[in-house]
Amino acid sequence: MASEMANSTSQIVELNVGGVGYTTTIQTLTKEPESYLGQVFRGKIAQIKDSKGRYFIDRDGVLFRYILDYLRNQKIILPESFAERDRLRAEAEFYKLETLAKALIPLKATSADELTSSLTPLGITSKAPGYVMLGYRGTFAFGRDGLADVKFRKLSRILVSGRVTLCREIFGETLNESRDPDRGMTDRYSSRFFLKHSYIEQAFDMLQEAGFSCVASCGSGTASIGPNDLKPGMDSEENRWNHYNEFVFVRN
């Protein structure tokens, strides 16, 4: 059915990696010529065969799946909850795949530039880990008489705190830095950012899109205010229902 002229079967290579069989091609294996596999399959390093004639590599057979994927595509997409990142880096080091090994080093969100440069060449989808907190001081919108039945959540400002580079990456143009302007310091934290809008679920959605999850939250009400302290124009019901809710987000 399919004609077999274009490629030669001799280009197919069968591997026995620690007992797990893989099949691939010379082209794939030599894509990084100076890597261990590149040297082996350009004839620079001798390699023994097993009893079935497969090239034998004395390394973990399971993780080789990702090594091979990286060679095929020159980029790597890891499973979303990949649990063997450190193990894979050790394999990448053995195979002398430096770009891959470097890309598997856990990132720190020090500066946006550094982040970009360590991500781009390989296309690894991993991002710098860290915590970010959102908080809001809220109450409810009451009707004129203080007892009307329509009372929605009312919040004036969404507070953002955390590492500056993370906050910028997540919220971009919607982040208001006017109260804590950049003075050229890198790797700094702030608790003085807020958002330009007041939809907290929109902020949550942006955190989600950036790979963060909500892991905890805490709420607290306020102490009462004496009747003499009530400023003109303040609604006493709104005052009573004041609360501060704080949400903890993390990216692993």
**Contacting its own copies within 161-200 (CB under 8 A):** 161-163, 179, 189, 191-192, 194, 199-200
- Please, which residue, 16 or 35, has the CB nearer to its own copies? 16
The distance of closest approach from Cβ of residue 196 to its own copies in the complex, given in angstroms and rounded to an integer, is 13
The neighbour count for residue 156, using CB atoms within 10 Å, is 10
- Please, which residue, 152 or 183, has the CB nearer to its own copies? 152
- In eight-state DSSP terms, residue 109 is -
Give dist(CA 138, CA 150) in Å, integer.
Answer: 16
The distance of closest approach from Cβ of residue 103 to its own copies in the complex, given in angstroms and rounded to an integer, is 15
C-alpha distances out from residue 251 to 4, 38, 100, 138, Å: 49, 36, 22, 26
The distance of closest approach from Cβ of residue 226 to its own copies in the complex, given in angstroms and rounded to an integer, is 5
Contacts with its own copies by CB under 8 A: the residue count is 126
Q: Which of residues 59-78 bind its own copies (CB under 8 A)?
A: 59-62, 65, 68-69, 72-73, 77-78
Alpha helix segments (H runs only) across the chain: 26-29, 36-41, 64-73, 85-94, 98-103, 112-119, 164-171, 200-209, 236-240
Q: Give the angle subtended at the CA of 39 by the CAs of 36 and 44, to the nearest 5°.
A: 135
- Please, which residue, 117 or 208, has the CB nearer to its own copies? 208
The distance of closest approach from Cβ of residue 110 to its own copies in the complex, given in angstroms and rounded to an integer, is 12
The distance of closest approach from Cβ of residue 12 to its own copies in the complex, given in angstroms and rounded to an integer, is 6
* 242 near its own copies, judged by CB under 8 A: yes
Q: Which of residues 195-234 bind its own copies (CB under 8 A)?
A: 199-202, 204-205, 208-209, 213-229, 231
